Amino acid sequence: MEAVKNKIVSFNDLDVFQNSYKASIIVMNKVIPNLPDSEKYDLKDQLSRSCKAVPRLIAEGYAKRHQKAGFQRYFDDAMGESNEMVVSLSHCRDIYSACVDIKLCNELIDAYDKIGRQLYNLSDAWSKFKTKGRRTT
């Protein structure tokens, strides 16, 4: 039996937005506060900016969905931020294993890897959808 897909009427309806928003809340509440103060202007700051950037870029990109280049740019930037989260969370896990929950870091690394793949697939599908049936001259 095929899963029922709801109509997308807002960026809130995108699974990738929901996943990135939930992950950002976990990072802000459960990872960043456990890092040492010496990381205030480096790893803490980077994690804070990147985790919040992913859902923001998805929301902004969705608003530009009628502009192929605009839409693509925001989703590419969101993929970049998601990749930065994978690296930053790996740093947290590998450098500060005494401070952070290693299992949680691994789960978040997997989540951001999935988010990056979702963004790629959505962007690819959207570009095909938007050009489907149009003449190219």
CA angle centred on 10, ends 7 and 16, rounded to 5°: 85
What is the Cα–Cα distance from 56 to 81, expressed in whole angstroms? Answer: 11
Class of domain 12-127 (CATH, top level): mainly alpha
Strands (DSSP E) found in 6-106: none
- Region of 133 please: left (phi>0), alpha (psi -120 to 50) or beta: left
pLDDT of residue 136: 41
Cα dihedral 94, 96, 97, 101 sign: negative
List the domain boundaries for the chain. Answer: 12-127
Q: Mean pLDDT over all residues of the chain?
A: 90
- Give pLDDT < 70 ranges for the chain: 1-5, 129-137
In tens, the pLDDT along 101-132 reads 999 999 999 999 999 999 999 888 877 765 44
What is the Cα–Cα distance from 80 to 103, expressed in whole angstroms? Answer: 23
